[in-house]
Amino acid sequence: MKIATYNVNSVNARLPVLLRWLAETRPDVACLQELKAVQEKFPTEAIREAGYHAIWHGQKAWNGVAILARAGEPAETGRGLPGDPDDFHSRYLEGTVGGVGVGCLYLPNGNPAPGPKFDYKLRWMDRFAARAAELVASPDPVVLAGDYNVIPEELDVYDPAGWEADALFRPETCEAYRRLLAQGWTDALRHLNPGERVFTFWDYTAGAWRRNAGLRIDHLLLNPAAAGRLVAAGVDRHVRGWEKTSDHAPTWVELRDV
């Protein structure tokens, strides 16, 4: 089973790119972030014609997450994270597909830091970690896939010194990510590419793509049951070079016998 995550940066503005990528790579499951569409503006018909069933959680202008699956509609197991009744952002959706648990997340950016947005990010990470702790010991494979807005380590950013004050790379952010992994999660892309620079995001500005000034911020975390089945992980880097493309590239894992 191939499971992908892709921050599309507006599902409607990016629809041609999304459909082209789905047709080309045929993931079994695709987690999408930054739909930037209200619930009723999700392109249900086009997704269906592309061969995918979907659940999604939209929001006006910002955020929004979806889980697409070829085999059938994901059985939803969660929408939003508990722990903050004032949090109305559409950033977390969870379901099962063919016996595999899939969490799709769009973790808050957190800039500018320090400040209320950074505080929200760290609180959100705590709430997410609480849910992850419930999932990690599942006997079934679980994959937590999404735009984490976390640069895990220096290797994952083209200019570590230039990013040290950024919410994506501040010590509190990196420590929260390490605590999450310490529950027993495997960062699939890093696990299969130790010591290598692998980027998933290149800013639109300053010729970042041309200069390969990238970040690795899109992650797929695997619980032990999933990690035992991991056979491949990669980034569909070429998609970042397409016309009218997202600033993120699709990132994926392949699990054996699922």
231 binds DNA (CB under 7 A): no
Which of 164, 169, 165, 161 minimizes the C-alpha distance to 201? 169
Question: Among the options 57, 89, 219, 248, which is catalytic?
Answer: 248
57 is in an annotated binding site: no
Task: Report the residue from 108, 141, 152, 234 that binds DNA according to the rule CB under 7 A.
Answer: 108
Coil, helix or strand at residue 25: helix
7 is in an annotated binding site: yes
12 is in an annotated binding site: no
d(C-alpha 235, C-alpha 7), whole Å: 12
Task: Report the residue from 9, 90, 186, 200 that binds DNA according to the rule CB under 7 A.
Answer: 9
Q: Does the annotation count 248 as an active-site position?
A: yes
Task: Report the residue from 206, 231, 238, 241 that binds DNA according to the rule CB under 7 A.
Answer: 206
149 is in an annotated binding site: yes
10 binds DNA (CB under 7 A): yes
Q: Which is nearer to DNA, 34 or 254 (CB)?
A: 34
Question: What token pair was written down for 102?
Answer: 């899939």
Window of 67-75, 103-111, 175-183, 219-227 that interacts with DNA by CB under 7 A: 103-111
Q: How many degrees, rounded to 5, is the angle at CA 54 between CA 204 and CA 88?
A: 65
Question: What token pair was written down for 115?
Answer: 């400040």
Task: Report the residue from 82, 204, 228, 231 that binds DNA according to the rule CB under 7 A.
Answer: 204
CB of 208 to DNA, least distance (A): 9
Q: Does the annotation count 148 as an active-site position?
A: no
Coil, helix or strand at residue 219: strand
207 binds DNA (CB under 7 A): yes
25 binds DNA (CB under 7 A): no
248 is in an annotated binding site: yes
Contacts of 182 (CB under 8 A, 6+ apart): none
Contacts of 171 (CB under 8 A, 6+ apart): none
d(C-alpha 121, C-alpha 255), whole Å: 30
d(C-alpha 100, C-alpha 87), whole Å: 27
Q: CA neighbours within 13 Å on the CB side: how many for 85? A: 0
The site for DNA (CB under 7 A) is made up of 9-10, 12-14, 36-38, 60-62, 108-109, 111, 117, 204-207, 244
Catalytic annotation, residues: 106, 147, 248
What are the binding residues for Mg(2+)? 7, 34, 147, 149, 247-248
